[in-house]
Every structure is written in C-alpha cells, then in structure tokens.
Amino acid sequence: MKVPNYIIRVQNEGDRKGEIFYNTLTGAKMFVNENQLSRIKNGKCISQLEFLKDKGFIIEDNCDEDKITYKALTRFKPTYNLTLITTYDCNMMCPYCFEENTTSSLAYMDITVGKKVIERIENKIVNDKIEKLNIAFTGGEPLLNFDIIENFLLLLTKLLVKYDKIIYNISLITNGTLLNDYIVNQLKKYNLKGVQVTVDGIKSRHDGLRPSKDGTSSFDKIINSIEKYAKVIPFAIRTNYHYGEENILLEWIDYLDHNMGDYKKNISLKFRNIMDTNNYSYSRNKNSNTIIGKIFQYGFNKGFNILEGSICDKCRIHSNNSEYIDCFGDIYRCFMFAGNKNFVIGNINELEYNEKKLVFDNLKVWENCIKCPLVAICAGGCRYEALVSKGNINKKVCDYQNKLTGLQYYLKSKYKIS
C-alpha cells in the first residue's frame, strides 16, 4: 500500500504524535497516528487500515494515481451551481473592482429573465438529472434589486414542489450596507446557507478602499449589519489585502475578536490577495504564504474559523454545471468574465450554447499538471489571470510552492489533535 501523491501530509502540532492527511480530490481530512504510519511504511497489518483505504488516503501499490486524479476531475457531479448577477449597479466605488468598466452598469434583472432562469433549472433537473442546486445572488450590489431575488425565490419554491427530492440552498454575496430586517427574514425562509460580505480591515483602511458613493462610511453600516444579524445567519467576512501589508490582518482579527467575540461560531473569515489591476496578476513573493500562514495560526488561536478558500478557491470554470447568468440573461462560466460580451457562452433565450462554450469545455490546462499534488485545488491557475497577463486562457499560471506552503500552515493551524 502507498500514500498517493494527491494526499497532503503535515505533522500534527497537537499533543498526539502523527500526521494530518488531506485528500485534495475529495477534501477529506484524517489524523493518522504513528502506529498507523509505521504500518503503511512497512506494509504490515494493512488489514487494520481498511478505513484509510476506503477514504482514499492509501491505495494499492499498483494503482495509477494519474488515472484516479483524472477520473475525479472529470466525473459528472449532479449539482447545478448557479450564480445570478441581479445587477451590475453598485452603491460603492471600490478602486480594485474588476467590474468598474462593465458596460450597462445600471441594468437590472427583471422577472422575465427570472422566469427563463426557472425554466432553465427545470431543464437541468429533467435532462441533466440534477439532484442538488446551489444558488447564489451577487452583483454589482444584488440587494439594489432585491425584488427580483424575492420573486425568483417564490418561483423556485413553486417549481421544487414538483421535484421535492431536489436539495437546494441559497447564498448571498453582498457588500452588506443594505441588509435589513425584512431582507434577512425573507432569505431565512429559503434554506439560506450564508451571507458573504467584504470588510477590508479596520475602519480607516476599509473606508479608504471601499468608499460609498454617497460619501458615508460603508464600514459602519457593514459592521452594524454583522453585529445585528450574525446571531441568526452565518456570515463569511472576506478581507482583501496586498502582500506586504499582512499586519493589517492581525489588527483586523484583533478588532473582530474584541467586537464580535459573542458570534464567532457564526462568523468565518476569508483572506484574499488583491489582483494588481495595472498588470492584471496577483502579486507574489517566495515568503507570501508563509506570512499568511502565520495569520491563519493567529486567527485559529483566537477561535475564528478561516475558510480554506483563503489559499485557493476550487474554480468552477471547468464544470459544465456551473454557470453565471447576468441581468441580460447572458451566460458565463467564470464570474471574472461577467459583463465581457466576448466570453458569453449563451443566453437563456436561446436553445443552444454558442461556439464560445467549446473554449471553456476544452480548457484542459490542468492535464499538464496531473502529477501535481494540488491539481484538484488549483487546476493550472486562474484562467482570467492567464488571459490578461499572458494573453492566452490556456496558459498555465503556477504558484505551486506558495500554495503548498499556505495549505500546510492552514492544515497545521486548523487541525490540532490532542
């Protein structure tokens, strides 16, 4: 038996001696003690390790890891991940927003588009045998068009009466300034999984990076919303940063610890590096994820849950069952391309996709990375970054060592077995 290369292993930093195994193909984690590690190494008493084999943490010596990885990455998953861009309009003017040059920014989704999306969902259920729906609302600022969210969810629940075995949940990605009692109470009726808001550090930094169009402090509005509603709904707080300014994250964690301590169980944190809009790439240096790894340790020690997406989100661009539909009914495979008509793969009013869909269906850059332990997480890097920085959506963008280091810190910090 052997440990396949897609298993990330880190030493347990708790009291018990052993390692944390992380299966990058499935997301499963398991503590493996010293005796079990010895059996794997020496090939003795392997029958006592069947539970590790069942979970994919060890495989037979003659198993082809590349084939296992390829099968996992190409396997059909009966889940439809749908994000609705209710409007490109926004009540804020963040300087790093990639949507700032989007055309028709004042357009709003109407109920005609909403009804077509419902028809599309039913078609996915009937023809693609979808068993689960993950529906997110974003923008722009989606709550500027809450009417369509409310009406869409009414139509969705009526549809799902016919398909009562379908599992569904909804989530909201908002700047958080427009949340109120009515909106929160309405969303809670519809299997609300959580709300993501962005706060870029303490008040002075945040308001400088994320100013409201009306000149008021967006920080105060968002913090008030979190304090009020974190009692009843889960929040993910995203904080954007540039490498070299990690200390602002420590300061921000301290602020949250002091002011949100009562709601820690309902608050998750996510840290993401800001793309440099001058050259459209993410800043990097050899110590970047070592530094951010120490931020993870600090946050976990304070009792916060830090999301794994702080290292690298598993991009859905490679999945046929992940789509972004905007207020015009245009369909995209990646949120970063939303609003750019050159990357529309279809429209809900059309029976067939256009030829651009084949561009995304044939994105196989990850095949060149099949032996990389992180291929299931990274898939060859961000396709948007590849396009704008290298001029080719099929170019590999590799940040292996940074991501591996960050992931190792993350695992060691989050999973301490005592």
When pLDDT is averaged across residues 288-317 and rounded to a whole number, the result is 86
pLDDT at position 102: 61
Q: Is the pLDDT of residue 285 over 70?
A: no
For residue 278, name the pLDDT band (cuts at 50, 70, 90): low
Per domain, the residue ranges of the chain are 7-72, 76-310
pLDDT at position 181: 97
pLDDT tens-digit map of 103-150: 556 789 999 999 999 999 999 999 999 999 999 999 999 999 999 999
pLDDT tens-digit map of 231-263: 999 999 999 988 777 788 999 999 999 999 888
For residue 217, name the pLDDT band (cuts at 50, 70, 90): very high
Helix (H, G, I), strand (E, B), or coil: what is residue 249?
helix
For residue 277, name the pLDDT band (cuts at 50, 70, 90): very low
Select the more confidently predicted residue: 168 or 290: 168
Q: Which of 39-53, 96-110, 149-163, 330-344 has the highest mean pLDDT?
A: 149-163
Beta strands in 274-318 (DSSP E): 275-276, 281-282, 305-306
Q: Is the pLDDT of residue 186 over 60?
A: yes
Vertex 342: Cα angle to 341 and 344 (nearest 5): 60
CA distance 245 to 149: 37
Q: Is the pLDDT of residue 280 over 50?
A: no
- 98's CB contacts (< 8 A; 6+ apart) are 275, 277, 336
CB count in 10 Å sphere of residue 348? 19
Helix (H, G, I), strand (E, B), or coil: what is residue 167?
strand
For residue 185, name the pLDDT band (cuts at 50, 70, 90): very high
When pLDDT is averaged across residues 264-268 and rounded to a whole number, the result is 94
Question: CATH for 76-310, among 3.20.20.70, 3.30.2080.10, 3.40.50.450, 1.20.1070.10?
Answer: 3.20.20.70
Task: Render 38-106 in DSSP notation, one character per residue.
Answer: HHHHHT-SGGGGHHHHHTTSSB-TT--HHHHHHHHHH----EEEEEEE-BS--SB--TT-TTTT-SSTT
Percent of the chain with pLDDT over 90: 65
pLDDT at position 63: 92
pLDDT at position 275: 67
For residue 179, name the pLDDT band (cuts at 50, 70, 90): very high
For residue 294, name the pLDDT band (cuts at 50, 70, 90): confident
Mean pLDDT computed over every residue of the chain: 90
Q: Is the pLDDT of residue 282 over 90?
A: no
Q: Is the pLDDT of residue 29 over 70?
A: yes
Q: Is the pLDDT of residue 206 over 80?
A: yes
> What does pTM read for this prediction?
0.92
CB 134 within 8 A of CB 77: no
pLDDT at position 171: 98
When pLDDT is averaged across residues 46-59 and rounded to a whole number, the result is 86
pLDDT at position 125: 96
Closest CA to 151 of 137, 161, 162: 137
The pairing of beta strand 322-325 with beta strand 330-332: antiparallel
When pLDDT is averaged across residues 296-301 and rounded to a whole number, the result is 92
CB 25 within 8 A of CB 68: yes
pLDDT at position 400: 87
Alpha helices in 128-212 (DSSP H): 146-162, 181-187, 203-209
Q: Is the pLDDT of residue 91 over 50?
A: yes
Q: Is the pLDDT of residue 14 over 50?
A: yes
Lowest mean pLDDT among 57-66, 265-274, 289-298: 289-298
Helix (H, G, I), strand (E, B), or coil: what is residue 280?
coil
pLDDT at position 263: 87
When pLDDT is averaged across residues 159-166 and rounded to a whole number, the result is 95
Q: Is the pLDDT of residue 100 over 70?
A: no
Residue 204, token pair as written in the block: 């002075």
pLDDT at position 105: 65
Q: Is the pLDDT of residue 307 over 50?
A: yes
